[in-house]
A and B are shown apart, each in its own frame.
Chain A
Amino acid sequence: MSELALGSEPLLRAVRPPLIELAGVEKVYRTGKLEYPALRGIDLTIADGDMVAIVGPSGSGKSTIMNMITGIDRPTAGTVTVGGERIDAMSEEELAIWRGRHVGVVFQFFQLLPTLSALENATLPLDFAHRGSRPERRERALHNLELVGLADRADYLPSELSGGQQQRVAIARALASHPTLVIGDEPTGNLDTTTAAEMFELLERVCREGATVLYVTHDMELAARAHRVVTIRDGLVVDA
């Protein structure tokens, strides 16, 4: 199955419509008098349903690309189109609503709200998006917690969970609104090898269920499990 899937991947990519299109994207960070060009003109297309690993050395611009695709940051030049929408042209409020509906983000350090329980954290994107009634949101979040194997820890605070468990909650949170795009910024970077493998299986499962998954990683073994690996160096795509 896996071989077949891998073998047919170029064909699949060819027929699937692109979900993400970056055209001539540049990003310059300014700190006082200093200017730091993080991206120097990126052209990248990612197909719907793809699982893409973005790799490269530290400071190469991996996280910046992710931030461009999620609208967390704006390009200095170029265009970013996701699902046919020019997100670089959206206002911050439009972006927040768009992310709430279409994007799930998993951070390296989990970034759960410390005062909310696992279930409440997993419900949060639905609350912000006002999707469904309260019982429906709760049901959906519980379902996602079940999916990540943490239904029995639903009422625990993040501080009462291990690192791996917290990252599972973060994935459940990312899946809350049934996103078409799941982004992981080194999602397993802060986990031990076994837990990291479990997390990765979860992401693969999400991708199999139809979502496009993009993740940044330093781990070449994990990168190799993606359908496609995009290599970034000095703000440029050197291999896609």
Chain B
Amino acid sequence: MFSTPVRKSITDLTRRKARASFTVLTLALAVASIGVFGVPAVMEQAMDREVAANRLADVTLTMKPLRLTARDLAALERVPNVVAVEPRTTFATRVYVGSRREEAMLIGVPDFGAQQTDVVAVAKGAPRAGSLLVEAANVRKGDFKGSVAKIVTADGSVRALPVSGQGRTLGGSSEWDFLTFYAPARTVAAIAGSDGFTSIGLRLNDAGRAAAETTVAAVRDQLRATTGFTAFGDLPTIREPGSYPGKTEFESMASILNVVSLLALISALVLLSNTMTTLIGEQTAEIAAMKAIGARGRDIRRIYLRTAGMFGVLGSVLGVALGIVISNLLVRYFAEFLFGIHAGFGVSPPVLVASLLVGLVGPPLAALPAVRRAARLPLNEALQASGSAVGGQGRLDSLLRHVRGLPRPVQIGLRSVGRRKRRTAATVLQIALAVATCLALLSLGSGVATSTRGWFDDNHFDVWIQPQAGKVLDADSGRAIRGVEGVKGAQPWLSNAVKVGGTEAQAWGLPARPLMDTRIEQGRWYSPADVTHATRVAVLGRTIAGTTGSAVGDRIRLSTANGPATFRVIGISANQADNGSVVFVPVSALQSVLGTTGTFNNYFLTTTTDDHALIDRTTTRLEDALAARGEQVGTFVNYDMREQQVAANANITMSITVLGLLIVAISMVALINAITMGILERTREIGVLRSIGARARDVRRIFATEGLVVALLGWAVGVPLGYAMARAIGWLAGNAVGLDIAFVFPLSYVAVALLGTVILALVVMLAPLRRAVRFTPGEALRYA
């Protein structure tokens, strides 16, 4: 059925089952690492499904509580381009979890059975009047347990509401880890003490920005015409078509993920090339025999390239399957972690094709140099090749021979490191790459934590108060705040969503001496005179300055909820407020632009103590005092935000580190491969050693020493490489998320990497070492 050369190619696959399995596994890992590039695409597919199922709003408008009748809503639905309208009532409050008060968000849904946008899916139980559904993600994370929620109502009293089930929305509980509850709109209105909707979600025919903005204007006009509506609380949130909450964050993470995948791919390709070289090298004598009986160079090339191709087919099939599994596991993890959703199964066709291409073409290409070398080897020399390397005579070998005083098995193992220099170098490189990646990712994690802490340490306030969207705090509120026991100072300011030349940002209208470090990098901060005269000057956060290409001295046009305004850039700040997408302006200037002179929607507060418990108590008193005035506010306690954000960032960097484990896995396969190949090549040698009295443990020590030395060399090369990589990944991650990430590279990580390398090397070598002593001396001597 097959010609003899084809049969030879096939039998080359099957006669060394262990080696063939390793080669296929290696290939599979290389192919699988390409599959990881498909994570963003598979996530996109999952999110598209999720967006469609959730009927995510294309535009969300916020406002002061507004009564809308069925007729009003029907009128809105008739506005051109509007497909569906869904009003919501949100109420930011507190809920008691045990004896602690936690921040909570109540979302009122008019009719759970007829939701038009941002669908709250009922995951468990059923919504009932006077009851709550708790966000499923809060339950999963363990933030909320129990069947009753004690909610602080608008008048400050506490009302216990039964929890009748669980609900779920896209991104329902991602922001600041609020506890989120869903309930019928009337239930929320009763707790909020105000009858009206605070937001409107719209689904549009044409969700493009221009069409969306026109529709928003038409909706505003319609509301003004039929209700007591005056203005939206903030700039409308227009979702880019195909976008979803948290997409930017995920894509930033995916860019780092891709770097790690690329490293994994490089590592796997090196391993592949090494494996193919060994495979051909072992058969040099056989190649010579074929040449001796008349095989031409091209016959030999065909045989081995065909074998490599067959490995490619097997590796591709396994690798593509593995890649799909890994990418789906990663997507599932990130989808649950970032968005609280269960991502379904997905495949990225372009990545699939690329995987197959690398899997099928890679092995013959990797084998080509070795095949060429073997085919060109003089016949006589090739006939004498044993497949096992003799002792080298190079400087390294000479150096290794001069290491004395070690037990003989250790000495033999040490010297064996130099016997296959190319293989040793490739294995060392792969381990180095793994060590370096781990060090770089550990460094990134620490850097992010340090930077996060640093940003919160820039804040000189203890508590930050923000009323519910669309509301403001007047002078009376300020007096009430200052009168609360434990409050030392209160600094009012104003914030609003703006656009700088089409890029979304936050305008922070602050006093001349804000309770935060302004971290001026270029130019200056505005003066008290600028504030007094409401001068239209701006200090840009570094991210927005970079995105818009603005520099000190430029004039920028801010689009605000009250129309456009021009400001002169006088400084660039490295403060990481809103991740650097912030425009600091004199508070009076922002008030003038928004037409809200004398009003504020934020307060920075200092307290009389540094004690966290006392700060918490002051915060509670503040909430109660304002609630008694009918003002619901969100309070952010600086120390608490700092801890939460550090924990959240640690989770993200941990997720990326998990992917780094793929590289570790590849490097460990490389080590197993190198040791197994060494054992296979030197099986006869093991037989000789056993024949002259070597015990199993002597043989194990020889190969364990060899493996450990290779692993340690990998660690030694990996440390400086890791240092460089940490710098590069830190820079890349900083650019991706627009944050200044501190560089942290403590010696303790180097020690941890050493320990990890040694332990992992010892663990992965267990199976090959067992194999080394599996044969009886007779079987080993006959091994060919």
Contact = CB atoms under 8 A, between A and B. Distances in A.
Given A72-B691, A113-B685, A124 B408 contact: yes
A71 B389 CA distance: 28
Contact of B391 (A97, A128, A158): A158
Contacts of B687: 72
Nearest to B392: A115
B776 A72 contact: yes
Contacts of B536: none
Interface string A50-91: 000000000000000001001111100000000000000000
A120 B692 CA distance: 13
Residue of A107, A120, A124, A157 ringed by the most chain B CB atoms within 10 A: A124
A173 B692 contact: yes
Interface string A87-119: 000001100110111001101000101111100
A113 B685 CA distance: 7
B390 interface: yes
Residue of B400, B412, B691, B778 ringed by the most chain A CB atoms within 10 A: B691
A114 B397 CA distance: 11
Interface in B660-702: 684-685, 687-696, 698
A93 B695 contact: yes
Interface of A is mostly: helix
Given A67-B778, A115-B415, A99 B391 contact: no
Residue of B397, B687, B778 ringed by the most chain A CB atoms within 10 A: B778
Contacts of A116: 391, 411-412, 415
A97 B412 contact: no
Contacts of B415: 115-116
A32 to B, nearest CB: 11
Given A115-B391, A159-B390, A159-B391, A96 B688 contact: no
A117 B411 CA distance: 12
B67 interface: no
Contact of A114 (B390, B684, B689, B695): B390
Contacts of A240: none
Given A72-B781, A74-B776, A115-B412, A125 B393 contact: no
A114 B401 CA distance: 12
B401 A128 contact: no
Interface in B400-430: 400-401, 407-409, 411-412, 415-416, 418-419
B693 A128 contact: yes
Contacts of A101: 693
A43 interface: no
A129 interface: yes
Interface string B451-495: 000000000000000000000000000000000000000000000
B412 A105 contact: no
B777 interface: yes
Interface in B373-394: 389-393
A124 B692 contact: yes
A96 B684 contact: no
B692 A99 contact: yes
Interface string A149-175: 000000001110000000000000110
Contacts of B781: 72
A96 B685 contact: no
B778 A73 contact: yes
A96 B690 contact: yes
A177 interface: yes
Contacts of B407: 127
A11 to B, nearest CB: 34
Given A74-B776, A99-B693, A128 B408 contact: yes
B692 A157 contact: no
A111 B408 contact: no
A102 B355 CA distance: 58
B416 A128 contact: no
A125 B692 contact: yes
Contact of A73 (B390, B411, B776): B776
A115 B416 contact: yes
15 contacts: A72-B690, A72-B691, A73-B777, A96-B694, A99-B692, A99-B693, A114-B390, A117-B401, A123-B408, A124-B408, A127-B409, A128-B689, A128-B695, A157-B391, A159-B390
Given A92-B690, A124-B408, A128-B695, 10 more contacts: A73-B778, A97-B693, A99-B692, A99-B693, A100-B694, A101-B693, A115-B418, A120-B411, A159-B390, A159-B391
Interface of B: 389-393, 397, 400-401, 407-409, 411-412, 415-416, 418-419, 684-685, 687-696, 698, 773, 776-779, 781
